Every structure is written in structure tokens, then in C-alpha cells.
């Protein structure tokens, strides 16, 4: 699994980092600027929660190939 971030649409709500601080690391103005984030198996649930928390809908989850 990996996380895809539409960084141009991030508005700095920081709700993703609240839900999953280890996965979503904010820059010094509190925004996401990493377009792709790798997710290990034990982080998948928290990754989904962080992505679902984004009010702007700019975080999507790409499931690993079966």
C-alpha cells in the first residue's frame, strides 16, 4: 500500500497528522509536501484513517497489487 497526496490541494488542516503522525509528516508551515508515502502492512489501518480525515479529500490510498 502507498499513500498518494495531491500536495497542491493541501490546505493545512493537519487532520491527517493528528490521526497518523508517523505517516503524515508536515512541513514547517503545517502542510503536506510529500506526494507519495510508503505504508507498511502494520500501518495500513492508520493510513486509511489519516486519509479519510482529510477535509479537502487530497489524500488517496493505493492498495498493493495482489
Contact residues for other proteins (CB under 8 A)? 11-15, 17-18, 26, 28-30, 49, 52-57
Least gap, CB of 6 to other proteins (angstroms): 12
Nearest of 57, 61, 60, 62 to residue 13 by alpha carbon: 57
Least gap, CB of 44 to other proteins (angstroms): 16
Residues 6+ apart with CB under 8 A from 4: 35, 36, 59, 60, 61, 62
| Residue 28 or 42 with smaller CB distance to other proteins | 28
Question: Which grid coordinates are listed for 36?
Answer: 507519495
Least gap, CB of 52 to other proteins (angstroms): 5
Amino acid at each position: 500500500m502507498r499513500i498518494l497526496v495531491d500536495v497542491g490541494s493541501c490546505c493545512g488542516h493537519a487532520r491527517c497528522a493528528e490521526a497518523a503522525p508517523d505517516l503524515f509528516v508536515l512541513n514547517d508551515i503545517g502542510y503536506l509536501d510529500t506526494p507519495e508515502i510508503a505504508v507498511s502492512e502494520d500501518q495500513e489501518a492508520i493510513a486509511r484513517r489519516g486519509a479519510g480525515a482529510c477535509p479537502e479529500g487530497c489524500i488517496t490510498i493505493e492498495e498493493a497489487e495482489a
